[in-house]
């Protein structure tokens, strides 16, 4: 579904992503671990076409996308749920969801079906559909951000640090929902500093450090690896 070959991304003179190669297959649930500033968000923005790599190729569903516009990539079936949520705080929950369906705005039936699906997944969004997004709790806002990302009916969902700033109980709830989204058929690439949470729910993981992949493997092996435990699990 997704293949990166030797991808590099710069900001001016600084190289942020350094020759990253990785592969995600249809149905996979994969984590991207890394500490502050490792380059997780930059890598996701590169995959989503918001940033253009200065080297290497990105392939999504067999098509080279590294020069494609971000909205074309969304149309192909890739959706990014950004770090920090980036909701429209003055708009209602419902209107925020509709923003996520922008690329299929004439597909009224499909949109209705997706609204039903995300409301079933996150019942609170149905209860609060007329409430302004900015007045939701942090956990509810994260749920709305994930739901909005699902409104384009993606085949691949990039989730950038959904657990950031949330209490452990809410993190557990969100982790369960994300797992359910994968089980319903959406391929997921999940970026997290919370390695413990990510490795518990994903099948496989990559570790990013200073813009390079330094390790990869099945999550149940990474979780017992000494380097990972020291750096990311506080062991
Ligand atoms: N627009 C930008 N201009 C210049 N440098 C940037 C820009 N965005 C990010 N960087 C730099 O790129 C590096 C990687 O940042 P990035 O946000 O990708 O890391 P991250 O792994 O997502 O970190 P975090 O876990 O804190 O979100 C950092 O050194 C950051 O300062
Ligand atoms: Mg980030």
Instruction: Please report the atom of ligand 1 found closest to the CA of residue 208.
Output: 21
Q: How far apart are CA 160 and CA 170, in angstroms?
A: 16
Residue 28: closest CA among 57, 2, 66, 63: 2
* Mean per-residue pLDDT, 96-125: 95
Report residue 233's pLDDT band, with 50, 70 and 90 as the boundaries.
confident
- Tell me, what's the pLDDT at 235? 60
Report the C-alpha gap between 144 and 128 in whole angstroms. 10
C-beta separation of 84 from 116 below 8 A: no
DSSP 3-state of 4: strand
The CA–CA distances, whole Å, from 119 to 11, 93, 142, 174 equal 39, 11, 14, 14
Q: Is residue 89 within 8 Å of 132, Cβ to Cβ?
A: yes
The average confidence (pLDDT) of the chain is 95
* pLDDT average, residue stretch 177-201: 95
Q: Measuring from atom 1 of ligand 1, which residue has the nearest CA? A: 11
CA 215 to ligand 2 centroid distance, Å = 19
pLDDT exceeds cutoff 80 at 22: yes
Whether pLDDT at 76 is above 80: yes
CATH 3.40.50.300 domain span(s) along the chain = 1-77+154-235
What's the CATH code, domain 1-77+154-235?
A: 3.40.50.300
- CA-based nearest residue to 114, from 144, 157, 71, 150: 150
Cβ(101) – ligand 1 distance below 6 Å: no
| Residue whose CA lies nearest to ligand 1 atom number 30 | 37
pTM > 0.75: yes or no: yes
């Amino acid at each position: 579904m997704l293949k990166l070959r030797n991808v590099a991304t710069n900001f001016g003179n600084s190289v942020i992503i350094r020759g990253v190669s990785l592969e995600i297959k249809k149905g996979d649930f994969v984590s991207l671990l890394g500490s502050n500033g490792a380059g997780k968000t930059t890598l996701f923005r590169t995959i989503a076409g918001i940033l253009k790599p200065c080297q290497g190729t990105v392939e999504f569903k067999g098509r080279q996308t590294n020069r494609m516009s971000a909205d074309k990539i969304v149309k192909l079936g890739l959706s990014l749920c950004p770090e920090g949520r980036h909701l429209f705080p003055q708009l209602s929950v419902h209107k925020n969801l509709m923003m996520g369906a922008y690329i299929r705005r004439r597909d009224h039936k499909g949109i209705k079906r997706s609204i039903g699906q995300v409301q079933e997944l996150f019942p609170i969004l149905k209860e609060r559909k007329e409430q302004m997004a900015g007045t939701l709790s942090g956990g509810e806002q994260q749920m709305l951000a994930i739901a909005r990302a699902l409104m384009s009916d993606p085949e691949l969902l990039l989730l950038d640090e959904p657990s950031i700033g949330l209490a452990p109980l809410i993190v557990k709830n969100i982790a369960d929902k994300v797992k359910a989204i994968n089980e319903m058929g959406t391929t997921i690439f999940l970026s997290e500093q919370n390695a413990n949470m990510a490795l518990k729910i994903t099948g496989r993981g990559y570790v990013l450090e200073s813009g390079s992949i330094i390790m990869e493997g099945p999550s149940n092996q990474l979780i017992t690896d000494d380097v990972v435990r020291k750096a990311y699990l506080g062991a």
